[in-house]
Amino acid sequence: MYALQDLGWTDSHTTEFEPHAAAGLVPARVAAQHRGAYVLFSELGELRAEAAGRLSHEAGGAGDLPAVGDWVAVAPRREEQAATIQHVVSRRTKFSRKVALDASKEQVLAANVDTVFLVMSLNEDFNLRRLERYITMAWESGAQPVIVLTKTDLCPDWQLRVLEVEAIAFGVPVHAISNISGEGIELVRSHLEPGRTIALLGSSGVGKSTLVNTFAGEELLATQAIREDDGQGRHTTTHRQLVLLPEGGLVLDTPGMRELQLWESSDGISETFSDIEELAAQCRFSDCAHRSEPGCAVQAAIEDGTLPFERWTSYKKLQRELAHLERRLDKRLQSEARKRWAKAGAIGRANMRAKGRR
């Protein structure tokens, strides 16, 4: 049995859920997903569930199906300790990426998250450009990003790397920790509160599952040591999983991801690269392309070293990627509209022929 408030339920959820309650449905939260089957937390306890056929049929893409962290309205089968998901409650936040190998479909990695821990280790996994991408997508999700740098015990100059991260992470708290010594853990733990949900995102082996186990005070998730030959972690978490902590709060562990393809992250880019956009606003010409125009504040900052060229390159790369995605989405929407009009036209012609035969 779970108390809904412990799972993050609020008064606004109660109001929104009233029509579903009137239809005899009960609220539950998606805790895990396994190849189309779901595990839910609810006042009835833990339930096995599947999405209603209608819900699957109506879903326009992966972003429309239930995701871990979602609140759902379900028809319970109490005797089986199971349920059918009939509706996905509106999401407050969602962390999404483009589906691999698909140009225009969304994959929701985590829903209704309050804070996103962007976890990166301070040894071989350290990569500022990848972190910029993570920060961009975290801001776009609507959740508060927090950067957690792990394995200070394996990086003698970790303080310098923290400074490098702080230089690109405007407005984002940065914590450096060691799961071995416990250094910095309490500062990270301060973000946990009853009813709040925190998602952990990062590459394999950076210590996400170890951090969850530390918060829980027991070995809830499997972990493996890093490889001695290259310092890289082995993949341990195989699916997204929501964990209710004994002292309150929920954490959502995710499989390791070295690359995330953007999904509608224009606002996230502006937030992450606010320094560059502030420079661009200072250019002499409002339509400056930041190449060789006179009075370009961006190029001046690159030349005097205040704006690292690598950061500028990263900004332009993410902008190009987002523009490409938007073009593909426009083409998909245009194609879907043409199909709808063609179908409507066919139905209309069929109706006219039927009337003519009467």
Specify the pLDDT at position 266.
Answer: 62
For the chain, report the end-to-end CA distance as a whole number of angstroms.
62
Picking from 143-157, 168-182, 259-273, 301-315, which range would have the lowest pLDDT averaged per residue?
259-273
Residue 272 binned pLDDT confidence (cut-offs 50, 70, 90): confident
Which residues share a beta bridge with 45?
Answer: 42
Picking from 2-6, 31-35, 297-301, 352-356, which range would have the lowest pLDDT averaged per residue?
352-356
Q: Domains, the chain, ranges and CATH? A: 4-88 (2.40.50.140), 94-253 (3.40.50.300)
Rounded CA-CA distance 256/120 in Å is: 11
Higher pLDDT among residues 95 and 16, named by residue: 16
Residue 281 binned pLDDT confidence (cut-offs 50, 70, 90): very high
Please determine, for residue 344, whether its predicted confidence score (pLDDT) is greater than 60.
yes
Higher pLDDT among residues 248 and 35, named by residue: 248
User: pLDDT tens digits, residue range 207-244?
Assistant: 888 898 899 887 766 554 544 444 444 444 456 889 99
Specify the pLDDT at position 322.
Answer: 75
Specify the pLDDT at position 164.
Answer: 95
Specify the pLDDT at position 260.
Answer: 60
Residue 98 binned pLDDT confidence (cut-offs 50, 70, 90): low
Enter the pTM of the model. Answer: 0.75
Specify the pLDDT at position 203.
Answer: 85
Specify the pLDDT at position 123.
Answer: 86
Specify the pLDDT at position 227.
Answer: 42
User: pLDDT tens digits, residue range 99-137?
Assistant: 654 555 778 888 999 999 999 999 878 999 889 988 988
Residue 62 binned pLDDT confidence (cut-offs 50, 70, 90): very low
Average pLDDT of every residue of the chain = 83
Mean pLDDT to the nearest integer, 170-197: 93
